[in-house]
Amino acid sequence: MAIQTLEPHLIDSLQRSAREILETMVSMIPQSIAAEPEDGSRFSDPVIGLLGFTGTRAGTIVVRTSEDLAKTIAAKMLMMEPSEMTNFQDAADAFGEVVNMLGGNFKNAWVAGGNQMELSMPTVIHKGNVTVRSDADGCLRSRVRVQLDAGTLDIGVHFEAKD
């Protein structure tokens, strides 16, 4: 099975987008942002943000983290203290917006290359399991890992095989 990774300029764009969004919209400075292999397409994480897309190719943007970091990101985005974020549902809404912003920035890089992309509404799953369709020949998948003072955020892009 031949799973490929995204082109280097798209990975660079994902890294720049992560830095820009976290610094400007969430007021969190990443310690590091590194491209890492995305070994699978099944995820079991405390918080999983999903953003499906169609167009030139279909796929899913998958953003994964801990519950504490999701609450911290949401609180900072809403200009609150993390201790004030007691309801995960409120955190899920704000975290979903971060997933949406990451997807929108990735879309801009993808479309700049002459492609088309339509984004769905973000979905945030709390303590769940997710499988996306990126295990067949011809699929593309890549991930960047963002290390923050409060924890780790994984941002993956999974393209399904071309029809």
pTM for the model stands at: 0.94
- Helix/strand/coil percent split, the chain, to 5: 35, 35, 30
Predicted local confidence at residue 3, as pLDDT? 67
Residues lower than pLDDT 50 in the chain? 1
Predicted local confidence at residue 156, as pLDDT? 95
The contacts of residue 79 (CB under 8 Å, 6+ apart) are: none
Q: Which residues span the domain enclosing 27? A: 8-159
Whether 32 is covered by a domain: the verdict is yes
CATH of the domain at 17: 3.40.1550.10
Predicted local confidence at residue 133, as pLDDT? 86
Token reading at 156: 């993956």
75 three-state secondary structure: helix
Q: How many domains does the chain have?
A: 1
150 three-state secondary structure: coil
Whether 102 is covered by a domain: the verdict is yes
Predicted local confidence at residue 139, as pLDDT? 86
Whether 132 is covered by a domain: the verdict is yes
Whether 3 is covered by a domain: the verdict is no
Predicted local confidence at residue 65, as pLDDT? 97
Predicted local confidence at residue 86, as pLDDT? 84
Predicted local confidence at residue 90, as pLDDT? 85
Predicted local confidence at residue 54, as pLDDT? 96
